[in-house]
Amino acid sequence: MLRDLNEREEKVLRKALKFFNSSDFLKEKKLVVKGKEVFAVSEELYEFLKTGVDCYCGVKIGEIGKRFRLTLEGSFWLMRNEKKKVWVNEKGEMLFLYGRDVFTESVTKVGEFEENEIVFVCNRYGDILGIGRARFDSLKILRQAKDRVVVENLVDRGAYLRHEKIYEAF
């Protein structure tokens, strides 16, 4: 059954949104929960769901437990700022979508983040290709050897095409 966020879940979500610098997201969309899955829905759909219809609807933006785990779809909606992003060139984009990690030679631009933080890998147009974990802080990435892995691939858009069994959210 779909339901609203409870007090603890809302606190976890607000903390995550603050981390991603997307606190205003809750003003724009309504959120509903089914199990641990969090869906963003429009105001009209939210009103319809209050009638008691039990279905999956909206865009799954993540899963909630002790922390909020963002999905790729959720990253498109929530990642409007450029702080936690790494941009790659065309070759890096292709390799990342094939499940490879990001090497220094592929990085064209970096935002601001710390070592081991979750980052979003983007192509030259700013499209989010996937989610990774930074092996270095943003100030050190471009100073690494060209053949050094600087972002570990956690999940990418190509995973859907490869039919890999992956976690749905990170």
- pLDDT category at 2 given cuts 50, 70, 90 is confident
φ, ψ (nearest 5 deg) of residue 33: -125, 140
pLDDT for residue 28 is more than 90: no
pLDDT of residue 169: 58
* Spacing of C-alpha 59 from chain mean position: 13
Q: Where in the chain is the domain with CATH 2.30.130.10?
A: 85-162
Identify the three-state secondary structure at position 167.
Answer: coil
Helix (H/G/I), strand (E/B), else coil: 35: coil
pLDDT, position 25: 79
Is the confidence at residue 61, as pLDDT, over 80?
yes
User: For residue range 115-168, what is the model confidence (pLDDT) as tens digits?
Assistant: 999 899 999 998 899 999 999 999 999 999 999 999 999 988 887 676 655 555
Q: What angle do CA 74, 117, 23 make, to 5 degrees?
A: 45
Q: How far apart are CA 126 and CA 85, in angstroms?
A: 9
- pLDDT for res 53: 77
Q: State pLDDT tens for residues 155-166.
A: 888 876 766 555
Question: Which residue is listed with tokens 């983007």?
Answer: 122
| Architecture of the structural domain at 85-162 | Roll (2.30)
One-letter amino acid for residue 73 of the chain: E
